[in-house]
Structure 1
């Protein structure tokens, strides 16, 4: 009677809809077994302190160890502790706003003076790491099984990337930033030609590659483990290779609390800046009195709209707002370009981008160590923005991962650090250079207003264009959409951080999203009372500091699993040329079989019958012959969501990674153009082969029993080639960790090659 496979065995197949029902724990390896590579060897016992995964089979236990409940459940510890921290801070800021601002300023001054280098170094390493991932061989790895493809079309995906990661704060700083850097630069005299050349570039730098690299790092790490390994879409899952099952306990809860609190403060800062800016716009459009009362009213109104949009989910509310947001921003930019100083703005845009590219490496590591009093400028600008991106990183990363299943790592990273960044550059350059043009014309009143009151300066610039009220209305709408997009995404992700969600495509319950939307609004009001935008900058810089630790841990964890992906790739390359290729290539068929396949789109009943008549007997024969030759074999089956038993063949390899051959029933759309003259149905069913890295990309339908057996052996030989490569790898990785400590490695039995008995556990 075959045993039911364990959850970790099924998760590695990564087939859509595959569920392990009534799964039992995997059988332990015997202490002394026959080795496929010759002789016998003893599997050393794991030490008690060895909690982190040290092999691929250990990593496959992730879904089983991280998923505590089969359905969405609230993590009450994370929810309560995070809420208490935020509520306590809000009460403190509301009751004693003066003391709160003074304390935060002193803390920020200390961080800027003593830890500025740490923030700068962290962002530099993050940028370098994501670029290395994108341009390495592992850049072809997908956020999901090998056969997965993107869910959203490119234009929609890019729009959602841009709108989720950019907030209304960019409009706020697009005018005041260049003007301040021109009049009060970090080094040298203000109001000079050199200061003018750098003024816009500094703001482009602060809204450029660094922030999107943080988003890309956390997004690709969480998406990789969720969609390729079947783990929850969370920070703790991304750290599983580094920390093991400890991420499910207090350590993992602590990491989630840090990410959650940082996210709330980051979103609250964006909301606060947004209502300060929209406060002016609504006053100009509707004649309302500017002030704290209008700002609080805007916060309340925005929360109501956020709740309505957030509860509709990512596929409706957020996607619709994202696309509308992008088009409104495009319309605003075109209007400014056409009605403003067109030639000057285009010339300046090209020069700004060139200056950014040339000076980017130096700016990335710039700390102004030799400039007296530079810590104040660093704290107000570069360090604030770096902290802002780090605080936003977890929540934007989760959102980007949610919309990027099926994308390759290279595609994900390059898109994230180019397309949205270029859009940022255009917005910052057009607004910033329009403002600088006014300063160059001697408009000192505007310059002073932009420095002292950025929100007033932004709208003062819009009033200088033809058709000012139309532009103000369009800009206010664009700002409102920027604000709503960030608030919607934030509420959704906050609920995910405070809940345990086994399915990455699901979100936290609606009431939890509403709770976080309301609590974020309370924090926003508290910081407005404590000092407005300046207090928000202080809080962001302070609470983002622990998030830097998460960034380092994620880089170490993701590097560890990418080494495993490289071992997988190299193992395939080392196969003998006479062997048929795997992964994306079907077994060799006769010409009649190939012709028949062009017009065959089997129903579910036909696929199930073929599975029982041809595939199951073939796997049974292979399993029987493996046993006859002394292998440890498991022939089992899993039941998919449709109640169909899908066969699974597993061959144990001692302490090496086991061989897995799993045939799954996969639904696929019937192509519009095919050899079939008519189309009675929109879908057909394939029998796809899955191994540890996902689908091989081919269909077994129509093969003979002997061809299925040949395919199993081809896959098995490829697996041996992979193990041969991994066993020759001297460096430590997830697949080939360091040798056990002295005293744990047994001597090789007599007559056995010691090299063949190498332990990889």
Structure 2
């Protein structure tokens, strides 16, 4: 930086700011008072900048039950349940007709929706914005990769997979949708169709909703909800009736999905309990199992055994793994392994075409689509908010790229292992002439699944292990489902909190009533119909979430581009830090300052530097603020320089201490502490990643001006774009009120760092 620019900081920036203001102010109101309608529109309009986006956390208020969402959702579910129980034949016929209409007229819509979701999440992962984290820039994952991936798998696997792993492949072999029955072509596709239905489509939906909820919760401090994910699209209207409608649609669809999974589970488990304990299989045993799930959920809520439920969710993975290994070792090992490899290869090879296949040219294609592909797509849509919320809860600090790639690969491969093991074991029997087994598996899938298990050595042990595994899947889904429903029917600003315990119990009871009603109205088929119907409105939510998320990702990309255009200084530690002399660099490598030294440096260097810059900005006509405070953990002074730019994201230069472990190698360790404090610069999305300790006052001033130049470059880029959804509205915005009326605080997440936590991974 030249001497002239040092003596007149902000002179170049003043020109940029003046030009920016002139272009923005051409068609503004010219100071006349706003009408009430204009004021309401200004207050409720969607955010057009990340600065406005940061105010989203203030919109949702304190934690409380949303009685409107709870009442309407519960009323819809209970009304449907009463109808199904009092008039089961009429309910079944009506839903069958509606599903027939959907299969003929809207099948393309479901197929296209899932394909678009897959394409969208892949684009997010592979684009530059894939580097954005579910949290501030400096946040890092709380779980190891292995633990995290294990939890991903546990979240998305339900007992329904065991139910369809046998009947699915056999049905597609005997009555294939697009091949000759019982032909070699039908055999090659039999297992692949079930893999397709349990493959990338479902996990892409989980990824979409999970990363959207996690992004807004952990990066912007909003609730972990679908409503919050639509804030960039709807603005403050998300706290009103529009947001309530979104939550009602989401909640009803989720209840339907969980009830369907529970219903399929009790149908399957009742056969296992009948075989193991001699209990009469039928509706009575199925209802008893539903009641058991409610009792377990109540016990978990009232006795504080959530850790025990988490232990059960891990135990079900081990039991499922043991069951799969036992079948591979004691069954047709070579056939199963060969089939597994070929199935995966054929799945990959046919995925693009299969993803857009609607069976329009096949006779009875719409009926087949309604009973299989459309049902599964609706199932994943209904389960999307449920599983997505859980995925978001465990993924704070992950990048979007990590989140998506892991979610659509590792759990999918685990799903494939289950499907191919059971599916190919069943196919081996059918290909070798066991027609009676094939007929049983198609007419009564639950009986067919247990009949297959009885063909292996040690059948009693395997049936017991399979029943235990299914029971654990079933109980985990019931308990976690009640928790998610309680969250969706509440307003909970803190993403780490859950809905009230009594609310979880209420939703467990309501879901149980719905499950029993659908069992009375026709069993699994009725559940499939109900899921397909009630998931239709959820597709609208999926499109809204994609539009909202696309808007904020454009903001992120614009900021990245702005930084890139003006990153003319690169620090030796990898950030855009101020340039140090070689003596300063060498000294910093061997120095871990004490807390007293950091406090002294802040008072003698940082504070005077920011005061001088603040005075100069003010003299040149900028609207600035200099906010001084203390870090709540270390009590070290913090200082934030804010420069306001009309109708645009303001500039923030926030200096705060970050506790960092002292390395055990190199340098001097004169002190006995295990950590020291770095003075890092925070913008509105996190730390810039460099330490100011050891700089001169002039170097700190230069760094402030450098950061401001980068900010101006960012605003200039976003203002000149033709796309209004990046940062600028399509028409000149209404002028903001005076900065004295602004309520927002300095946006940073440095206080979220625990003592001793580093900003480095």
Scaled by the length of structure 1, what TM-score is found? 0.88
Shift of 1:318: 5.1
Answer yes or no: is the 8 Å Cα contact 2:558–2:726 preserved in 1.
no
Please tell me whether residue 460 in structure 1 is matched to residue 454 in structure 2.
no
Q: Does 1:727 align with 2:719?
A: yes
Of 310-319 and 614-623, more deviation after overlay is shown by 310-319
Aligned equivalent of 1:215:
206
Q: How many Å apart are 1:392 and its aligned residue?
A: 0.4
Match of 2:357 in 1: 366
Q: 1:729 to 1:487 in 2, by over 3 A?
A: same
The structure-2 alpha-carbon separation of the partners of 1:670 and 1:400, relative to structure 1 and needing over 3 Å to count, comes to farther
Write out per-residue CA displacement over residues 603-644 of structure 1, whole angstroms, 9 at most, x where no aligned residue. Answer: 666655544444323222221121122221111245665577
Aligned counterpart, 1:531: 522
Is the CA contact 2:569–2:579 (under 8 Å) kept in the aligned structure 1? no
Report what 2:130 is aligned to: 139
- Displacement of 1:471: 1.4
Relative to 1, partners in 2 of residues 1:294 and 1:77: Cα closer, same or farther, differing over 3 Å? same
Cα RMSD after superposing both structures: 2.6
Aligned counterpart, 2:491: 500
1:232: which partner in 2? 223
CA deviation after TM superposition for structure 1 residue 667, in Å:
4.0
Distance, in Å, in 1 between the alignment partners of 2:342 and 2:394 is: 34
CA distance in 2, matches of 1:712, 1:314: 51
Instruction: Work out the CA distance in 2 between the residues paired with 1:53 and 1:452.
Output: 54
Structure 2 vs 1, CA of residues 345 and 253 (structure 1 numbering), >3 Å: closer, same or farther?
same
The superposition leaves residues 193-238 of structure 1 with CA deviations (integer Å, 9 ceiling, x where unpaired) of 1111110010001000101010011111111111111111111111
Q: Distance in 1 between matches of 2:668 and 2:501?
A: 46
Q: 1:106 to 1:77 in 2, by over 3 A?
A: same
* Residue in 2 that maps onto 1:82: 73
CA contact (8 A) 1:86 1:523 kept: yes
| Pair 1:36 & 2:29 matched | no
Aligned match of 1:52: 46
Contact 1:104 1:538 in 2 (8 A): yes
Asked whether the equivalents of residues 165 and 486 of structure 1 are also in contact (C-alpha less than 8 Å), the reply is no
Q: State how far apart, in whole Å, the 1-side matches of 2:614 and 2:268 are.
A: 69
Q: Are 1:298 and 2:292 matched, yes or no?
A: no
Contact 2:253–2:531 (8 Å) recurs in 1: yes
Aligned to 2:536: 545
1:695 aligned residue: 687
Note the alpha carbon deviations across 1:65-114, whole angstroms, 9 max, x for none.
2x222xx2111111111111111112222222222212211211111111
Structure-1 separation of matches of 2:399 and 2:308: 26
Provide structure 2 residue ranges, at least 5 long, that are not aligned to the other structure: 1-13, 736-761
1:310/1:488 contact within 8 Å kept: no
SS at match of 1:289: coil
Q: Which of the residues 639, 642, 646 maps onto 2:638?
A: 646
Q: Please name the residue that 2:261 is paired with.
A: 270
Q: CA deviation at 1:579?
A: 6.7
Cα deviation per residue 1:384-415 (whole Å; 9 max; x = unaligned)? 00000000011111111111111111111111
Could you tell me how far apart the structure 2 residues matched to 1:310 and 1:136 are?
Answer: 42
Alignment of 1:1-16 (within 5 A): none
Distance 2:727 2:641 in 1: 22
Residues in 2 aligned to 1:426 and 1:647: alpha-carbon distance in whole angstroms: 55
Measure, in 2, the Cα distance between the counterparts of 1:524 and 1:685. Answer: 56
How big is the shift at 1:117? 1.0
Distance 1:366 1:572, change over 3 A: same
Moved more, 252-261 or 515-524: 515-524
Higher alpha-carbon deviation: 50-59 or 555-564: 50-59
CA gap of 1:669–1:542, structure 2 versus 1, over 3 A, is: farther
- CA deviations 1:653-700 (Å, max 9, x no partner) are 233321111123434455565646699556554433211221112333
Tell whether the 8 Å contact from 2:300 to 2:306 is kept in structure 1 after alignment: no
Does the CA-based 8 Å contact 1:55-1:737 persist in structure 2? no
- Answer yes or no: is the 8 Å Cα contact 1:310–1:492 preserved in 2: no
Distance 1:731 1:270, change over 3 A: same
State the shift of 1:720 in Å.
2.1
In structure 2, the residue matched to 1:164 is 155
Instruction: Identify the residue that residue 751 of structure 1 maps to in structure 2.
Output: none
* Deviation of the 1:481 alpha carbon: 2.1
- Structure 1 residue 707: Cα displacement: 3.4
| Contact 1:459-1:472 within 8 A present in 2 as well | yes
SS at match of 2:725: coil
Shifted more, 313-322 versus 144-153: the winner is 313-322
Q: 1:520 to 1:224 in 2, by over 3 A?
A: same
CA contact (8 A) 2:172 2:190 kept: yes
How has the CA–CA distance of structure 1 residues 476 and 647 changed in structure 2, closer, same or farther, with 3 Å as cutoff?
same
Aligned match for 2:110, one of 97, 107, 119: 119
Structure 1 match to 2:176:
185
Alignment map for 1:505-654 (pairs within 5 Å): 505-575=496-566, 577=568, 584-590=575-581, 593-594=584-585, 597=588, 607-608=598-599, 610-637=601-628, 642=633, 646-654=638-646
1:112-153 deviation digits (Å, cap 9, x = unpaired):
111111111111111111111111111111111111111111
Match of 1:68 among 40, 43, 61: 61
CA contact (8 A) 2:606 2:697 kept: yes
Q: Is the 8 A contact 2:569 2:576 kept in 1?
A: no
Deviation at 1:519, TM superposition (A): 1.8
How many angstroms apart in 1 are the aligned matches of 2:589 and 2:577? 14
How much does 1:347 deviate? 0.7
- In the alignment, is the contact (CA less than 8 A) between 1:583 and 1:695 conserved in 2? no
Question: Is 1:713–2:705 an aligned residue pair?
Answer: yes
**Number of the residue aligned with 1:13:** none
Q: 2:403 aligns with which of 407, 412, 430?
A: 412
Question: For the residues of structure 2 that align with 1:195 and 1:550, how far apart are their CA atoms?
Answer: 36
Tell me: CA distance 1:426–1:717, structure 2 relative to 1, closer, same or farther (3 Å): same
Unaligned runs of 5+ in 1: 1-32, 746-761
2-side partners of 1:39 and 1:74: how far apart? 45
Aligned twin of 2:307: 316
SS in 1 for 2:649: strand
> Structure 2 vs 1, CA of residues 613 and 327 (structure 1 numbering), >3 Å: closer, same or farther?
farther
Task: Quote how far apart the aligned CAs of 1:488 are.
Answer: 2.9
Matched, 1:655 2:647: yes
Cα distance in 2 between the residues matched to 1:313 and 1:357: 44
Offset at 1:157?
Answer: 0.8
Confirm or deny: 8 A CA contact 1:236 1:252 kept in the other structure. Answer: yes
Contact 2:660/2:678 (CA < 8 Å) preserved in 1? Answer: yes
Q: CA deviation at 1:282?
A: 1.7
Matches of 1:193 and 1:495, distance apart in 2: 49
